Amino acid sequence: MDAPLPTPDLLLARRAAAGQPQAWDELIERHGGRLFNLALQFSASVEEAEDLTQEIFLRLYQSLRLYRGDCPLLGWALRLSRNLCIDHWRRVRRERLATAVSEEILLQMPATDDPRAQAQARQELRAVHEALTAMPEELAEVVLLRDLQGWSVEETAAYLEVPAGTVKSRLHRARLELAEKVTDRLGGRPETGPAAVLGGAGSC
C-alpha cells in the first residue's frame, strides 16, 4: 500500500526547516498574523506583543522538523506557542496588577462614530484586562482565547489540550467571576460590564 502523500502544510514546513527563505516567508505570511494576535492577548502593549511574537517565531523555526503533518500547521504552531504565552503571562502577571492596560491595546478596538460610546467601551475593556490579571490562570486563559481572541470552543479546546466540555465549564465560571470583578471596577454599575466588550459573552 502506497504511503500517503505529504500535505501542503508538511511540504511547506519541510522546506522552511531546510532553510529555504521563501518557504519561511510564506509560512509567516500565512500564519504570522494569527500568532501575533494570540501574543497580543497575553501582552499589555503592542511592543510587548511584537517581542513575544518574535520568541514564538524563533521557537517555531527551531521546532519545524518535529512537525509531522498529522494536524493543520497553524493549529500545531498555536499549541507550540502556548507555553511561551503562558510563561510570559505568569512573568508579568504581578506587574499588571498595579498597571493599566496600554493605550496601544485599547487602540486596537474598532472605531465608532460615537465618541462617548467609544470611551465607555475602552473603559470597559481596560476593566476586563485588569480583572483578568486577578483571576485564576485557567479561567483567565479561556476568556482571553474564546472571548477576546474570538476562537471557537473547538479551537480553544485543542489549544489548551482539554475536552470541549471543560472549556465550556471554565468559560461559564470565568464569565461569572469576570462580570463581578468588572462591575466592581466600574463602580458597581450593573448595566455595564464585560458582555458588551467581549461580544457574545453570553454563549459558548
Residue by residue, pLDDT tens for the chain (204 residues) are: 455 678 899 999 999 999 999 999 999 999 999 999 989 888 878 888 999 999 999 999 999 999 999 889 998 999 889 888 888 887 776 555 444 444 555 555 555 666 677 677 777 777 777 788 888 888 888 888 888 777 889 888 888 889 999 999 999 999 999 888 888 877 765 444 444 445 444 455
103-138 in b/e form (b: 16+ CB < 10 A) is: eebbeeeeeeeeeeeeeebbebbbbbbbbbbebeee
My answer on whether 2 and 61 are in the same domain is yes
My answer on whether 70 and 116 are in the same domain is no
Q: What is the DSSP letter of 193?
A: S
Q: What is the pLDDT of residue 123?
A: 76
My answer on whether 150 and 133 are in the same domain is yes
How many C-beta atoms lie closer than 10 Å to residue 89's C-beta?
20
My answer on whether 160 and 198 are in the same domain is yes
Which amino acid, one-letter code, is at 64? L
The pTM of the full predicted model, rounded to 2 decimals, is 0.60
My answer on whether 65 and 130 are in the same domain is no
**Overall number of domains in the chain:** 2
CATH number at residue 44: 1.10.1740.10
Which positions ≥6 away from 93 have C-beta within 8 Å?
A: 133
My answer on whether 157 and 93 are in the same domain is no
Q: What is the pLDDT of residue 197?
A: 47
My answer on whether 1 and 93 are in the same domain is yes
My answer on whether 79 and 18 are in the same domain is yes
Give CA–CA dist 33/44, Å, rounded: 18
My answer on whether 114 and 203 are in the same domain is yes
Give CA–CA dist 171/80, Å, rounded: 22
SS3 200: coil
Cell representation of residue 55: 520568541
User: Taking Cα atoms as reference points, which of 30, 80, 31 lies closest to residue 59?
Assistant: 80
My answer on whether 94 and 157 are in the same domain is no
My answer on whether 93 and 131 are in the same domain is no
Give CA–CA dist 149/25, Å, rounded: 24
Q: What is the DSSP letter of 66?
A: G
The range of the structural domain enclosing residue 194 comes to 109-204
My answer on whether 115 and 191 are in the same domain is yes
Distances (CA, A) of 197 to 176, 200, 201, 202: 15, 9, 9, 11
How many C-beta atoms lie closer than 10 Å to residue 87's C-beta?
13
